[in-house]
Chains A and B, each alone.
Chain A
Amino acid sequence: MAQQELIVIETLCSHYEIEVSFVDSLYSLGLIEIHTVEQTRFISEEKVADLEKMIRIHQELEVNPEGIDVIFNLLRKVDDLKSELAVAKNRLRRYELENQ
């Protein structure tokens, strides 16, 4: 069975020098998942990279959690569009080859 590495939220907050309330806001907006085990709250290690990105956007660009939500939604759309474009390019290449 796959094991999931979990990191205590307070440890992360002190490491990145952020308020626990900031993590709570991200959670309430559905931007991160929080696991609770015996009343201790954790974040999955594999999601830390996303959290780091949110912290950078917050600290370096002074964007609040709602703004981060907007940015992440737009980035997801950009990713989807990039994938669609790649598929469309492949399809076009195929039709071009077929009609040569």
Chain B
Amino acid sequence: MAFIDYYSVLGIDKSATEADIKKAYRKQARKYHPDVNPDDKNAEQKFTEVNEANEVLSDPEKRKKYDKYGKDWKHADQFEQAGGGAGRQQRGQGNPGAGFGGADYSDFFESMFGGSGGGFRQGGRSTKFKGQDFNAQLELDIHDAYTTHKKVLTVNGENIRLTIAAGIEDGQTIKIKGKGSPGINGGPNGDLYIKFVIKNNTKFTREGNNLYSTVEVDLYTALLGGDIIADTFDGKVKLKVAPETQNGTKVRLKGKGFPVYKKEGEFGDLTLTYSIKNPTNLSEEEKKLFEELQKLR
């Protein structure tokens, strides 16, 4: 419950007028508003602090209380007991950061003023507001992302059945309408946004629908040609290696990559890079034979 210097949050001094506060608040809000800083947790936190500072400093009564007890915030509780909780009656009008996964006001604010205050819209209109959107993150193994499957998520006590289509991308977000928090004053429910984080511990690198991997080829097969068995994402494939194949040669296996999202039966490609493995621990006889070969070149 650390003391928060609301004046420094807004970048103003203690003698600031109401107009100065409004101006400073607008400036900071434009900088940190979640709509102009998507997916930025830092900005979201700053925005909450700025709202909190404005909530207090733009209200003469709260500002007076803050100026009197702010630095010595530990006495705020005693003040509350003696004076009653100013600010509670405003609870529920608007919601700071509503729709942005809005962070709560600080413990410091709660201790001073008791609960969330009026929030960003200061007019106090009983407008219908959409409920807060929820943001969730779902970790999937790349093997799970390879096939369409169903999952049941529990969000705020509610079970949500989800069909995850094969080919979902790392970082992709899906929206589930109306599964956020309930609307305010009869407004529509918020939405649930689920961001997928795909964990890949395989030897395959994924770029969109295409997969990449390296396959080892022994020196003799690379020189003389032959067959090798290579792993694909869902099995194995027999490949013909051409004679005199160079290290780093790439082969593209069409349709052996990752499924294309929501396009059943469509797959990307798999590119395999040959890595030629030289023999080690050569016997005397092998060395001699290689020397013979060297002389021939």
Q: Which residues on A are within 8 Å of B, measured CB to CB?
A: 15-17, 49, 52-53, 56-57, 59-63, 71, 75, 78, 86-87, 90-91, 93-94, 97-98
Contacts and interface: CB of A to CB of B under 8 A. Distances in A.
B194 to A, nearest CB: 16
Contacts, number: 47
Interface in B104-160: 120-121, 125, 127-128, 130
B27 to A, nearest CB: 10
A59 B30 CA distance: 11
Contacts of A63: 30
Interface of B: 26, 29-30, 33, 35-36, 38, 99, 120-121, 125, 127-128, 130, 170-171, 191, 205-208, 212, 214, 273, 275
Nearest to A57: B35
Contacts of B207: 87, 90-91, 94
A93 B205 contact: yes
A28 B275 CA distance: 58
B30 A90 contact: no
A18 B212 CA distance: 52
A94 B125 contact: no
A66 to B, nearest CB: 15
A16 B29 CA distance: 21
Contact of B128 (A15, A56, A97, A98): A15
